[in-house]
Amino acid sequence: MNFALSAISVLGFLAIFVLSLGDERFGWGRYWPPEAPGTWQHFSFRVLFRVGLYPLIALSAILARDDGFWMPVLGAVLILIGFGAAFAFTRKLGWRQAFGAATWLITSGPYAYSRNPVYVATWVGLLGWALCLPHPLVVLALMLWAVMYVFAPFPEEPWLEDQFGSEYAAYKETTPRFIGF
């Protein structure tokens, strides 16, 4: 059961990753960010992200029940800070905008220090999750999720340049992709 949950989670994240890398090369349009709500890209991303996340949560609950937590206090703090910040930063950006509806460029708040603060904050949460449950089946899925967020800005940035032109180019010149690099 544990292996199956991990495999499903990994397949969900891996499918997003592969679709994001292959999108325009194979002629099926831009996958990430989705072209518009209601498109197959938007729908499949939402489904596949849930296919990655929900089995990972179930697997984590099973392992926590059976094996306990390894570093619960530090891990829990990082989970709360990381995922809490990611949620807050996404809210500041706007849910629609976070999924491909470019209406304005946000350059203030956390976006003044990182062009991708949601990804950075999520990495903090993922690290906390891995500290709490350092089981290889959990860590594999968490690592794939983290790697997916390393590569996500590469298809996003040309799209943002198309949407916001010189305003985004100037922002890109002054603000790091992640933090400090």
* Phi, psi dihedrals of residue 45, rounded to the nearest 5°: -60, -45
Q: Is residue 11 one of the residues assigned to a domain?
A: yes
For 141, the domain range is: 2-174
Q: Reply yes or no on whether the pLDDT at 38 is more than 90.
A: no
| Number of domains making up the chain | 1
Q: Reply yes or no on whether the pLDDT at 51 is more than 90.
A: yes
What is the model's pLDDT at position 28?
A: 67
User: Dihedral, CA atoms, 125, 129, 130, 134, nearest 10 degrees?
Assistant: 170
Q: Is residue 181 one of the residues assigned to a domain?
A: no
What is the model's pLDDT at position 132?
A: 95
Q: Is residue 179 one of the residues assigned to a domain?
A: no
CA distance 144 to 29: 24
Of 104, 85, 88, the residue nearest 96 (C-alpha): 104
79-108 pLDDT tens trace: 999 999 999 999 988 877 777 677 889 999
Q: Is residue 118 one of the residues assigned to a domain?
A: yes
β strands within the chain, DSSP E: none
Q: Reply yes or no on whether the pLDDT at 35 is more than 80.
A: no
What is the model's pLDDT at position 155?
A: 86
Q: Is residue 49 one of the residues assigned to a domain?
A: yes
Q: Reply yes or no on whether the pLDDT at 147 is more than 90.
A: yes
What is the model's pLDDT at position 26?
A: 66
Q: Is residue 142 one of the residues assigned to a domain?
A: yes
DSSP letter at 99? T
Of 150, 139, 137, the residue nearest 179 (C-alpha): 150
Mean pLDDT of the chain: 90
Mean pLDDT across the stretch 114-139?
97
Q: Is residue 90 one of the residues assigned to a domain?
A: yes
* pTM across the whole model: 0.91
Across 18-22, 57-61, 65-69, least confident range: 18-22
Q: Reply yes or no on whether the pLDDT at 55 is more than 80.
A: yes
Q: Is residue 180 one of the residues assigned to a domain?
A: no
Could you tell me what percent of the chain has a pLDDT over 70? 95
